[in-house]
Structure 1
Amino acid sequence: MNIHKIKSFAKINLALNVIGKIKNLHKIESIFSFINLYDLILIKKISSPKHKIFFCGKFSSNIKKVNTVTKLLDILDKKKLLKNNKFYIKIKKNIPQKSGLGGGSMNAANILNFLHKRKFINVSQKQIIKISKLVGSDVNLGLESTSGIINSKGIIKRFDNSPKFFILLTKPVFGCSTKKIYSKVKKFTKSKYNSPKKSMFSQKYLKSQKNDLEKIAFFSYFKLQKIKNFLMNSSNPLFVRMTGSGSVIVAYYLSNLDSVIAKARFKRKFKNYWCITSKTI
């Protein structure tokens, strides 16, 4: 079988509200998009008794033996959906771990999509969504690389041709523990996105929104607040917001030049921190 290449795009939360909790799982609603930063997945069917999974690239170190990709394949094998087919998978990690960019979850979503579209698994789209949720709560967001809004009931509405932004992604040398951040959520926000509209992607609307996890993350990791303050005061962005549970802080702009200038200023101030310009897709 020929080897196939898949671009697994990073996800960003333009806004995020924590609206409740059921048992140990927090309920969120979010306005999200995808950006032109991606992990590259190589995949092919092989004659082997086991799947062969490898990670390489700048952000491949310390990936656990049990991860979203192994979890997905384990679920498919146990359900006998792969019919004993095995795969070689190599993923070049360009998306940082523990960043709020959903790298691992999007990897699993894209591999699941590939296996479905290539008819290695023959189930309904409804079943694909169920499988994605077994792997991780946000994996279903990556089943389409299209901007969308997930409401309080977990229903996703996608929007083609939503407004685009040029962005600067910044990350300190540490990542944020999603489990730790969510464990400190004590207050919930009243749901706002149950009637999703494309106008919610406008800069005016997004400026008025927030990420409920920011205050918690900033209290636990004070350097994140320092990064946000610097970006807000030095580069004249439309707005600055943490994505997911961090630790990436995103500054949003209307032009590529503004994001490039902002990157140069950021690198002068935070020489050892990761930063990259990108744009929503």
Structure 2
Amino acid sequence: MKLIVPAPAKVNLSLWINGKRPDGYHELVTVLHTVNLFDTLTFMPSDRFELQVEGDQLLPLGRSNLIVKAAELFRRATGIKPNVKIKLLKKIPIGAGLGGGSSNAAAALKALNTLYGKPLSEPELHQLAAQIGSDVPFFIRGGLAVATGRGEKLKHYNPAHFKLLLVYPDFSCPTAEVYKSLPPINREMGVEDAEKLIISPLIVGNLREVAENAHNDLEESKHPCVERVKREVKPVLEEVGVKPIMSGSGSCVFGLVEDEKEIDLSPLKKSGWWYKLLTAI
């Protein structure tokens, strides 16, 4: 049986940090939404587990790869050895703050569960996903959600439908290093705050209010990559005519779009960076 599974990217419509946890992670409140930019995973029968990557992005294929981790966790949880060949077609940029690796892992968990008769429930898949990485549980369902804790606690909402202009510059940001370069931040944000500032105006289609309230504490990081995002990328989005929001730990920046006809793309064309008009899904 051949199975083709899309793995969508996400953007962080806001990200607040409520301090550092005893386990070394940061306590987050973040609003996530999937968008129509996809990697694609193709699963085919095989006599052993095998992973291949297609595209111009280099990825490790060993145990550090999140798809490999997902397959191993699935084996431990079910006792089923996944003898499949997986071809990964990469379209989501690496080190961009779009959750590509996390989405790949979630897609692998769901696909393996389907291929082997669904031995795991959605809550069990969620538990496995949380062992892989902070964003992985979100991608089990995708759509629109507020994530808390280190990202594994989720409250889902009906997906909104809006457009955004996404820009990926000619560099990537290492997530772990961005967090390490973050000065102490101690807020007292909660799910209710995220709902008031982002979710409620988003649901009624007030993109201007969402953009005004959008915030990302990771822009306080002193990492050179984030400094470069603020110095080089965000001003170009302002020239285009949208408020720039850094997604996750960067380097991608996006802006919400009310009327694409009002956007002047010439500054982006001059920059030479990758950019795309996307839709929230």
Matches within 5 A, 1:44-193: 44-46=44-46, 48=47, 50-58=48-56, 60-63=57-60, 65=62, 66-79=64-77, 81=78, 83-152=80-149, 154-162=152-160, 164-193=161-190
Residues of 1 paired with 2:103 and 2:66: CA distance?
A: 9
> Hey, what does 1:229 align to over in structure 2?
235
SS at match of 2:35: strand
SS at match of 1:109: helix
User: What's the CA shift string for 1:35-70, capped at 9, x where partnerless?
Assistant: 111011111232x1x311011113x32445331001
Residues of 1 paired with 2:190 and 2:236: CA distance?
A: 30
> Per-residue deviation at 1:75?
1.9
> Hey, what does 2:27 align to over in structure 1?
27
Moved more, 144-153 or 9-18: 144-153
Residues of 1 paired with 2:227 and 2:159: CA distance?
A: 36
User: What's the CA shift string for 1:119-164, capped at 9, x where partnerless?
Assistant: 44512322211100111111001011211111348431111142x3
- Contact 1:97-1:175 at 8 Å conserved across structures: yes
Residues of 1 paired with 2:249 and 2:184: CA distance?
A: 16
User: What's the CA shift string for 1:171-198, capped at 9, x where partnerless?
Assistant: 2221111111101222224233322534
TM-score by length of 1: 0.87
Residues of 2 paired with 1:137 and 1:176: CA distance?
A: 17
Q: 1:181 to 1:121 in 2, by over 3 A?
A: same
User: What's the CA shift string for 1:65-120, capped at 9, x where partnerless?
Assistant: 331001111222234x2523411110110000000000010011012122224444
- Contact 1:150-1:193 at 8 Å conserved across structures: no
Residues of 1 paired with 2:223 and 2:178: CA distance?
A: 10
- Contact 2:50-2:86 at 8 Å conserved across structures: yes
CA RMSD of aligned residues (A): 2.2
- Contact 1:45-1:85 at 8 Å conserved across structures: no
> Hey, what does 1:250 align to over in structure 2?
254
Give the letter for the 2:267 counterpart. Answer: R
Residues of 1 paired with 2:9 and 2:180: CA distance?
A: 24
Residues of 2 paired with 1:82 and 1:52: CA distance?
A: 18
Query: 5+ unaligned residues in a row in structure 2: which ranges?
Result: none
Identical pairs, percent:
22
Q: 1:83 to 1:94 in 2, by over 3 A?
A: same
Query: 5+ unaligned residues in a row in structure 1: which ranges?
Result: none
> Per-residue deviation at 1:256?
3.5
> Hey, what does 1:207 align to over in structure 2?
212
